[in-house]
Amino acid sequence: MRILIEENYEAMSKKAALMVAGQILLKPNSVLGLATGSTPLYMYRELVRMHREEDLDFSSITTFNLDEYVGLNQDNINSYHYYMFDNLFNHVNIKKENIFIPDGMAENLYEECKRYEKLIKDRGGIDLQILGIGKNGHIGFNEPDLKFEATTHVVELDDETIKANSRFFSSIDEVPRRAISMGIKTIMHSRKIILLASGEEKAEAVKKAIFGPIIPGLPASVLQLHPDVTIILDREAAMYVENIDNIQ
């Protein structure tokens, strides 16, 4: 595990974008696992800039998103489908047939989870997975639980997650209570993982994920077992690991 501490959110995001760009340059047909939320926004903006100004080529890239809300259609501005097209896909030369996002409107959610898992397998697995971390230590929508969910599944969102995500909605009552999420096993099968964390409110979860016991009650702690994880933090998120620049 490597821990990189950057001065601020912008520097953290640029470092992450450089690493993603490096993956694309080294393997132009890479399969990328992508996250949503506020944390990776600037990273996506930087990738768009690199495409426009430095000819970063997405034409052979395949992407799989970590999760999607149940009950929101693709045109809903709060869906992760809308988020990804608005912040990245509409601005780079990725092929639409290579974009995969769980269908939160599927009639049979169980079958949708199976379908999505098979798509990942059929594409050869994920080369590089981008993650954020919730204040309760969730990755994707894998909430603290008594067990690690293995593969893509439907999850009931915790009250803390609903409250945190309510800032994107008109009211907390509009936040969906369920989502489809890649499971811990799916995430851990990624060849490389980058986890991003910004802000003082993430510092406690980051500390526990890096130094705490590996328990389902803190889902991100399982990343301690992965052979190739890079955690990129800004100074605020790194307040409990301030003197650590690199952990192997």
Fold classification of 19-39+46-196 is Rossmann fold (3.40.50)
The string of pLDDT tens digits covering residues 158-177 is 777 777 777 767 778 777 77
Task: Give me the catalytic one of 46, 67, 68, 117.
Answer: 67
Least confident segment among 5-19, 89-103, 162-176, 207-221: 162-176
Tokens of 139: 């990755």
Task: Please give the order of strands across the beta sheet that includes 178-181.
Answer: 67-69, 178-181, 153-156
Task: Give me the catalytic one of 6, 87, 112, 138.
Answer: 138
Can you tell me the distance from the alpha carbon of 103 to that of 105, in angstroms, rounded to the nearest whole number? 5
Task: Give me the catalytic one of 143, 149, 153, 234.
Answer: 143
Residues in the chain: 248
The string of pLDDT tens digits covering residues 143-163 is 888 577 789 999 887 777 777
Higher pLDDT, 71 or 25: 25
Q: Is 57 a catalytic residue?
A: no
Positive or negative: CA dihedral 14, 81, 119, 216? positive
Strand locations in 49-162, DSSP E? 62-65, 67-69, 99-100, 128-131, 153-156
Q: How many whole angstroms from its chain centre is CA 154? A: 16
Looking at the predicted structure, is the pLDDT value of residue 128 above 50? yes
- Cβ distance 220 to 195 under 8 Å? yes
What confidence score (pLDDT) does residue 248 get? 37
Q: Which residue has the tokens 């192997």?
A: 248
Q: Considering the chain, what percentage of its residues have pLDDT values greater than 70?
A: 96
- Cβ distance 246 to 3 under 8 Å? yes
The pLDDT of 209-238, averaged and rounded, is: 95
CB contact set of 186 (below 8 Å; sequence gap of 6+): 117, 120, 126, 150, 151, 152
Average pLDDT, the chain: 92
- Alpha-carbon separation of residue 176 from 64, 199, 229 (angstroms): 21, 25, 30
Pairing of β 153-156 and β 99-100 = unpaired
Q: Is 91 a catalytic residue?
A: no
Looking at the predicted structure, is the pLDDT value of residue 247 above 50? no
Task: Give me the catalytic one of 65, 87, 98, 136.
Answer: 136
* 72 residue type, one letter: L
Q: Is 138 a catalytic residue?
A: yes
Would you kindly state where each structural domain of the chain is located, as residue ranges?
A: 19-39+46-196
Q: Is 136 a catalytic residue?
A: yes
Task: Give the closest residue to 228 by CA, choosing from 206, 195, 201.
Answer: 195
- pTM of the predicted model as reported, rounded to 2 decimal places: 0.91
The pLDDT of 198-210, averaged and rounded, is: 95
State the chain's maximal CA–CA distance in angstroms.
50
